[in-house]
Amino acid sequence: MLANAVETGLPDRSIDLAFLFGLRYVHGGLESVLTELHRLLKPGAVLAIEKSRGSEEKMIAEVEQAGFHYNGKQGRIGGFTRT
């Protein structure tokens, strides 16, 4: 499936797990991708994000502001749960 990351066309709350890896820059900002992921993920679903550049604290705050709870990290992978 080929889809725009901010308008996938998938049904609401249809995903249990999402990986966001390899993003160094997102046109329009990460906020729009996080909004779509929040729409797609079921409550309690997991979002794993690879930390590549920039402030880790800023990234965590941005993801939490989008409706996710930070669960900690393993290596470069931050784990979040959809609230």
Range of the domain at 61: 15-82
pLDDT of res. 22: 74
- Percentage of residues in the chain having pLDDT higher than 70: 93
**Above 80 in pLDDT, residue 26?**
no
In a domain, 76, yes or no: yes
How many domains, in total, are found in the chain? 1
In a domain, 10, yes or no: no
Contacts of 5 (CB under 8 A, 6+ apart): 26, 33, 36
What band does 28 get if pLDDT is binned at 50, 70 and 90? low
In a domain, 32, yes or no: yes
In a domain, 3, yes or no: no
String of DSSP letters for 38-59: HHHEEEEEEEEEE--SS-HHHH
User: What CATH number has the domain bearing residue 45?
Assistant: 3.40.50.150
Whether 82 contacts 68, CB under 8 Å: yes
**What Rg, from alpha-carbon coordinates, does the chain have?**
12
pLDDT of res. 63: 94
Average pLDDT of the residues in 61-79: 95
In a domain, 36, yes or no: yes
In a domain, 44, yes or no: yes
C-alpha to C-alpha distance for 48 and 74, rounded to whole angstroms: 10
**The overall pTM is greater than 0.75:** yes
Average pLDDT of the residues in 49-78: 91
